[in-house]
Amino acid sequence: MNRLLNSIIENNKKWTKEGKVASYIPELYKMDPDLLGIYVCTLSGEEYFSGDFNKKFTIQSISKIITLMLAILDNGKDYVFSKVGMEPTETSFNSIINLEIKDPHKPINPMINAGAIATVSMIAGKDSDEVFQRILKFARKISGNPAMDINQNVYKSEKETGNRNRALGYFMKSTGVLDGNVEEILDVYFKQCSLEVTCKDLARIGAMLANDGVLPSSGERIVPRDTARIVKTIMVTCGMYDASGKFAVDIGVPGKSGVGGGILACVPRRMGIGVFGTSLDEKGNSVAGIKVLEELSKQLDLSIF
Ligand code: DON
Residue ending a domain, choose from 192, 213, 242: 192
Those residues with Cβ within 8 angstroms of residue 202's Cβ, 6 or more apart along the chain or in another chain: 39, 59, 62, 143, 262, 263, 264, 272, 273, 274, 275, 276
**Span from the CA of 61 to the centroid of ligand 1 (angstroms):** 5
**Span from the CA of 189 to the centroid of ligand 1 (angstroms):** 10
Task: Kindly report the protein residue whose alpha carbon is nearest to atom 3 of ligand 1.
Answer: 94
24 a catalytic residue: no
Q: Is the CB of 244 under 6 A from ligand 1?
A: no
165 and 229 in a common domain: no
75 and 54 in a common domain: no
* pLDDT exceeds cutoff 90 at 98: no
Total number of domains in the chain: 2
261 and 275 in a common domain: yes
H-state helical runs in 93-241 = 97-101, 113-120, 128-143, 152-161, 163-174, 182-193, 199-210, 225-238
181 and 71 in a common domain: yes
Residue ending a domain, choose from 132, 166, 192: 192
pTM confidence score: 0.96
Task: Kindly report the protein residue whose alpha carbon is nearest to atom 11 of ligand 1.
Answer: 258
Measuring CA to CA, which residue among 36, 98, 121, 93 is closest to residue 293?
36
Q: Is the CB of 258 under 6 A from ligand 1?
A: yes
Q: Dump pLDDT digits (tens) for 35-69.
A: 999 999 999 999 999 999 999 999 999 999 999 99
79 a catalytic residue: no
Rg (CA), the chain: 18
**Span from the CA of 273 to the centroid of ligand 1 (angstroms):** 20
H-state helical runs in 13-126 = 63-75, 77-83, 97-101, 113-120
Question: Phi and psi dihedrals of 38, rounded to 5?
Answer: -150, 145
Measured in whole angstroms, the distance separating CA 82 from the mean position of its chain's CA atoms is 22
61 a catalytic residue: yes
Written as one string, the DSSP assignment of 179-208 is -S-HHHHHHHHHHHHTBEE-HHHHHHHHHH
Instruction: Write out the residue range of the structural domain in which residue 256 sits.
Output: 2-60+195-300
* pLDDT exceeds cutoff 90 at 296: yes
Task: Kindly report the protein residue whose alpha carbon is nearest to atom 7 of ligand 1.
Answer: 61
154 and 137 in a common domain: yes
Which residue in 39, 48, 63, 64 is the catalytic one?
A: 64
Q: Dump pLDDT digits (tens) for 148-204.
A: 999 999 999 999 999 999 999 999 999 999 999 999 999 999 999 999 999 999 999
